[in-house]
Chains A and B, each alone.
Chain A
Amino acid sequence: MCETCGCGDPEIVPVEVQERILSDNDAQAAHNRRHFEGLAVLAINLMGSPGAGKTAVLEATARAAGGRLRLGAVSGDLATDRDADRLNAAGIRSTTITTGSACHLDARLVHHTLHHAPCSDCDVFFIENVGNLVCPAIYDLGQAANVVALSVTEGEDKPLKYPVMFQKADLVLLTKVDLIPHLDFDVHAVEDALSRVMPDAKLLKVSAKTGEGIDAWLEWLEAQRPAQRSGSTSLEHHAHSHEHSHEHH
């Protein structure tokens, strides 16, 4: 019997589901995570507002790593290949996921990239998400860690206004800190805001322009790296438990 609106219709039955609406994405993300873990690749989901300096940080990371780490990336872009072109020029092997009107990457899109542009010889694989402070946080991609780029030009109260993304972050990169002398920006205020939305808040101050803080960021990345590749989920020999909409090459 219809139990909520009281219409008393005896033909209506309640069916309990109690499942995450995005459980398909969760399952795909878990599959991606097995790929990354099997290959001992550290996958980083890099998020932030449009223009926060995500691509610039990765370019600076490649310059500072200087071949010490093998870096790969995929950039989610609404319409262009510009970020992937910049990253390739910087020495990070990159491809683009063109999202069209979609405001975020999802696990299926990332999985497609994994099979078509393998990252098996990378130490760190960056997923530069679509510039957006809300949507990307909702979709697990199979990453090992979430990093949010927040630029000093965006204002100290951004974490309080967009708690969803900051709450999911493992690390916040405060970008463009070379501009602080020209702005009215209070680093303590942003630290305070973060501590109210992000448990165990971690903030690193970086400048892609001057290279400040990039070494600390590289150290953080090194500390996240998995020990050894298990080889159990190499892309070459792996069977999918789910249906695929594309061929494996």
Chain B
Amino acid sequence: MHEYSIVGSLIDRVQQEAVLHGSTRVHRLHVKIGELAGVELDLLKTAFDTFRERTICEGAELAIDSVAAVWACPSCDRVIARGAVLRCDTCGRPARMIHGDEIILERIEMEAPDV
């Protein structure tokens, strides 16, 4: 259940950004999670709902952008078909992951401080 520790890191990071921008309320977080990141989206949502209470994220929404895994040849850029052997048919080189292991905090929508 590392989803809980990921949410802990996420909320800490949001707290830092909120302090930096003088905000006291966060409206929504946008995160990007790759298919091969090893993060269960349902568990992540449950963990967020549990942990956000009494933090800067109280009442905030977690918007998750999930990213499919894509592998390609590092030489000829040919994309490997899903489920196929991770080696280029043409060049014989091991494929490289282009997308799919992201665990990224993209953007925070927060209330601007009163000026």
Q: Which residues of A contact B (CB under 8 A)?
A: 2-5, 9, 11-25, 102-104, 106, 134-135, 137-139, 163-165, 167, 195-201
- A5 to B28, Cβ gap below 8 A? yes
| Distance of A138 Cα from B39 Cα, bound (Å) | 9
- The minimal Cβ–Cβ distance linking B65 to chain A, given in whole angstroms, is 11
- B110 to A22, Cβ gap below 8 A? no
Instruction: Report A-chain residues with C-beta under 8 Å of the C-beta of B76.
Output: none
| Distance of A106 Cα from B108 Cα, bound (Å) | 26
Residue of A nearest to B104 (CB): A20
- A167 to B36, Cβ gap below 8 A? yes
The contact sample of 23 A-B pairs, CB cut-off 8 A, is: A3-B109, A4-B28, A4-B30, A12-B27, A12-B112, A14-B107, A14-B109, A15-B110, A18-B104, A19-B104, A20-B105, A21-B10, A21-B13, A21-B105, A24-B12, A103-B1, A134-B38, A138-B2, A139-B2, A167-B97, A167-B101, A196-B86, A200-B94
| Distance of A137 Cα from B5 Cα, bound (Å) | 14
What 0/1 pattern do residues 6 to 25 of B give for CB contact below 8 A with A?
Answer: 10011011000100010100
| Distance of A199 Cα from B39 Cα, bound (Å) | 21
Instruction: Report B-chain residues with C-beta under 8 Å of the C-beta of A102.
Output: 2, 5
Given contacts A17-B13, A195-B86, contact A138 B103 (CB under 8 A): yes
Instruction: Report A-chain residues with C-beta under 8 Å of the C-beta of B56.
Output: none
| Smallest CB-CB A-B distances: 9 pairs | A200-B94, A199-B94, A164-B38, A135-B2, A199-B86, A195-B85, A15-B108, A13-B112, A17-B105
Given contacts A138-B103, A200-B94, contact A2 B2 (CB under 8 A): no
Q: Which residues of B contact A (CB under 8 A)?
A: 1-2, 5-6, 9-10, 12-13, 17, 21, 23, 27-28, 30-31, 36-39, 61, 63, 71, 83-87, 94-97, 101, 103-112
| Distance of A5 Cα from B2 Cα, bound (Å) | 29
- B84 to A196, Cβ gap below 8 A? yes
Instruction: Report A-chain residues with C-beta under 8 Å of the C-beta of B9.
Output: 21-22, 24-25
| Distance of A163 Cα from B85 Cα, bound (Å) | 13
Partner of A104, one of B2, B21, B37, B107: B2
Given contacts A21-B9, A22-B9, A24-B9, contact A13 B87 (CB under 8 A): no
Partner of B2, one of A14, A17, A103, A195: A103
Instruction: Report A-chain residues with C-beta under 8 Å of the C-beta of B1.
Output: 103, 135
Instruction: Report B-chain residues with C-beta under 8 Å of the C-beta of A167.
Output: 36, 97, 101
Instruction: Report A-chain residues with C-beta under 8 Å of the C-beta of B107.
Output: 14-18
- B37 to A138, Cβ gap below 8 A? yes
- B108 to A14, Cβ gap below 8 A? yes
- B106 to A17, Cβ gap below 8 A? yes
